[in-house]
Amino acid sequence: MSKVKALVIRAPGTNRDGEAVFAFEKAGADVTLAHVNQLIRGERNLFDFQIFIIPGGFSYGDDIASGRVLANELKQKFGEDMPKFIDDGRLVMGICNGFQVLVKAGILPRVKKGETPRVTLTNNDSGKFECRWVHLGVNPKSPCVFTKGMESMYMPVAHGEGKFAGDLKAITEKNIAVYYTDDKGDRKAGYPFNPNGSMNNIAGICDDSGRVFGLMPHGEDHILVTQHPQWTRLGLTKDGNCFPMFRNAVKFAESI
């Protein structure tokens, strides 16, 4: 069986593409890193891949709003390809800025042509850039492919516009893949455990199929045990506890 092929796209201002490539390569995928313009020019074909990843960073300097410009590019250039890619059974992951792109492009949650997204990711309640490690609890009712079999995770956030807000009727409980929690798993813990004021402590969502996943914290930054800020003090020896997300995705994509 040939290796799963994953595509990580980048644009001016992205800065977590290298970490995303590493995470999926470690999970066993054959990863291609390509500039979005290579897709637009047809030098790369989206349908040559089983997994499509939009990494974190500040695409196009986050002009207008975080992820807005890249989201508009995807809508204008790949407005028909993206739904087909997803409906073919393939996987999509957006991390931090990538999550913002998926939401503002109307990919997650899926928005019909001519409609306006009913949720968004907006300015943190604190009014400042938040950069710290956070605890996440996995929703056991979610069909999310990436978080299958997981209960909790620990990873850093680094964003100024990470608050999930809007009309929560646009999603169901099962669409909520992960919540911000405190170190005891309390999903109602407030700031700073919920670093941005997201409604219902939502840290990431998925579509009904579980194959399209948007995550605000940086799971790709806790792949190795040595990335944990207290790995020596705690005597940790295994992989970072976010690594199963990427392994789950690659394992699932082997059947595509």
Long-range contacts formed by 72-76: CB under 8 A, 24+ apart: 72/105, 73/11, 73/36, 73/40, 74/101, 74/105, 74/107, 75/105, 75/106
Strand, coil or helix: what is 54? Answer: strand
Identify whether 151 is a catalytic site residue: no
Say how many C-beta atoms besides its own lie within 10 A of residue 151's C-beta: 11
**Residues constituting the chain:** 256
Identify whether 220 is a catalytic site residue: yes
- Active-site pick, 161, 218, 222, 242: 218
Identify whether 159 is a catalytic site residue: no
Say how many C-beta atoms besides its own lie within 10 A of residue 87's C-beta: 11
CA angle, residues 77, 105, 35, in degrees to nearest 5: 50
CA angle, residues 152, 206, 156, in degrees to nearest 5: 45
- Active-site pick, 73, 96, 135, 159: 96
- Active-site pick, 73, 206, 220, 242: 220
Active site positions, annotated: 96, 218, 220
